[in-house]
């Protein structure tokens, strides 16, 4: 594989392009508006037709825009192409995954998701890191490894696509909550409880969607969450900190410097859990907080007053 494409010129899209160029790939980086190439081996374009000649296409756009953009992209692709998205989003209150969207609106069937503790700044710098590809197609995993893996980046794999997508989305939400809690002055004990109980909640959501519980203890789940707890300055954490400082959502988003999927995930998960008859107290509390329906103190009091049960 000599040439790959990245759809989306935001921070993560540019970081992916730089990672691929670093290991000798020629990269076509598409964005709506014209951009200067972000490094040697990277060619910028505003024409989707320019990506037709590659085998692997990374989709690095926020989830609300994935269907629209990939529907246009699908007009220049065929079944020989592989699509891999990197979004932390889910679609609707049924928590539909973006790999489902890719299969629905494009002719491509070989799809996957790249997730794990990958942060744009570290990926762009080439710091030692690892990620995981969820796909039913081994050749998709092989293509991602050929495209971006190298001495500083290890790529693992799983066929639990749904698990990877749910875990990634839930970690985005939990990272937002962790940033909020830390900015409010809560210490390590609070952080530990929020992280572990949050991941238990994420696993419940995943299992309800057909995922394997084991996935949530791996790179897509706890591995990703550990990076957030360690302070990797991901946009979700910055967003949560900004909210804790009293910024409105629009200003908090500007502080984060990227679209934060976790801001909408909470309400989606809360609605899904209620409809399917299981508890998701952290997601429900975060949804109330983000919508302005409950104060931070009220959410905390509600969480702390819940009956304790065995793990």
Say which residues have a Cβ less than 8 Å from residue 148's Cβ, sequence separation at least 6.
Answer: 16, 19, 20, 23, 25, 155
Predicted structure pTM score: 0.94
Q: Please state the CATH superfamily assignment of the domain spanning residues 3-158 in this structure.
A: NAD(P)-binding Rossmann-like Domain (3.40.50.720)
> Up-side HSE of residue 265: CA atoms within 13 Å toward CB?
30
Residue whose token pair is 């503790």 = 117
pLDDT at 37 exceeding the cut of 80: no
Percent of the chain at pLDDT > 90 equals 84
* Selection from 48, 37, 33 nearest residue 14 by Cα: 37
Residue 81, number of CB atoms within 10 A of its CB: 23
Tokens read off for 6 = 């990245």
User: Is there a contact between 1 and 147 (Cβ–Cβ < 8 Å)?
Assistant: yes
- The CATH architecture to which 161-304 belongs is Orthogonal Bundle (1.10)
Question: With bands split at pLDDT 50, 70 and 90, how would you rate the model's confidence at 46?
Answer: very high
Residue of 168, 179, 129 lying closest to 22 (CA atoms): 129
Report the alpha-carbon distance of residue 97 to residue 287 in Å, rounded.
20
Question: Please, where are the H alpha helices in the chain?
Answer: 11-22, 63-74, 98-105, 120-125, 138-148, 161-183, 188-208, 224-229, 235-244, 249-256, 262-276, 281-290, 296-304
Phi, psi of 132 (to 5 degrees): -135, 135
Buried b (16+ CB within 10 A) or exposed e, 7-16: bbbbbbbbbb
- Per the DSSP assignment, residues forming a β-bridge with 263 are none
Domain extent listing, the chain: 3-158, 161-304
Please tell me the predicted confidence (pLDDT) of residue 308.
82
Token digits of residue 285: 């509390």
Count Cβ atoms below 10 Å from residue 32 Cβ, excluding itself.
11
Pairing of strands 129-134, 110-115: antiparallel
DSSP reduced 3-state for 4:
strand
Q: Which of 81-90, 105-114, 217-226, 296-305 has the lowest mean pLDDT?
A: 296-305
In this prediction, residue 205 carries a pLDDT of 98
Place of tokens 């409809």: 275
C-alpha 151/C-alpha 128 separation (Å) is 8
pLDDT in tens, 111-160: 999 999 999 999 999 999 999 999 999 999 999 999 999 999 999 999 99
pLDDT at 304: 86
- State in Å, rounded, how far the first CA of the chain is from the last one: 47
Which H or E run includes 58?
Answer: strand 56-59
- Of residues 232, 102, 255, the one with CA closest to residue 178: 232
Q: What pLDDT shows up at residue 1?
A: 63
**Residue 268 in contact with residue 92, Cβ under 8 Å?**
yes
């Amino acid at each position: 594989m000599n040439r790959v494409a990245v759809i989306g010129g935001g921070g993560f899209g540019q970081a992916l392009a730089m990672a691929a160029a670093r290991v000798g790939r020629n990269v076509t980086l598409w964005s709506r508006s014209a951009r200067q190439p972000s490094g040697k081996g990277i060619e910028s374009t505003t024409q989707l037709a320019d990506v037709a000649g590659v085998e692997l296409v990374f989709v690095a756009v926020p989830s609300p825009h994935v269907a629209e953009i990939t529907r246009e992209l699908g007009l220049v692709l065929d079944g020989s192409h592989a699509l891999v998205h990197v979004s932390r989003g889910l679609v609707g209150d049924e928590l539909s995954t973006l790999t489902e969207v890719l299969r629905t609106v494009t002719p491509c069937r070989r799809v996957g998701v790249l997730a794990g503790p990958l942060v744009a700044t570290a990926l762009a710098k080439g710091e030692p890191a690892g990620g995981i590809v969820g796909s039913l197609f081994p050749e998709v995993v092989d293509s991602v490894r050929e495209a971006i893996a190298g001495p500083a980046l290890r790529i693992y794999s799983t066929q639990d696509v749904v698990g990877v997508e749910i875990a990634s989305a839930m970690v985005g939400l939990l990272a937002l909550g962790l940033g909020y809690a830390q900015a409010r002055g809560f210490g390590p004990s609070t952080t530990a409880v929020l992280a572990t109980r949050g991941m238990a909640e994420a696993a419940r959501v995943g299992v309800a969607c057909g995922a394997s519980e084991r996935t949530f203890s791996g790179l897509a789940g706890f591995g990703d969450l550990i990076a957030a707890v360690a302070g990797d300055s991901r946009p979700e954490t910055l967003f949560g900190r900004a909210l804790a400082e009293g910024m409105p959502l629009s200003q908090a988003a500007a502080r984060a410097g990227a679209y934060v999927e976790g801001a909408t995930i909470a309400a989606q998960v809360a609605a899904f859990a209620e409809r399917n008859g299981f508890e998701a107290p952290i997601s429900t509390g975060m949804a109330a907080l983000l919508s302005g329906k409950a104060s931070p103190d009220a959410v905390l009091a509600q969480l702390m007053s819940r009956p304790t049960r065995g793990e």
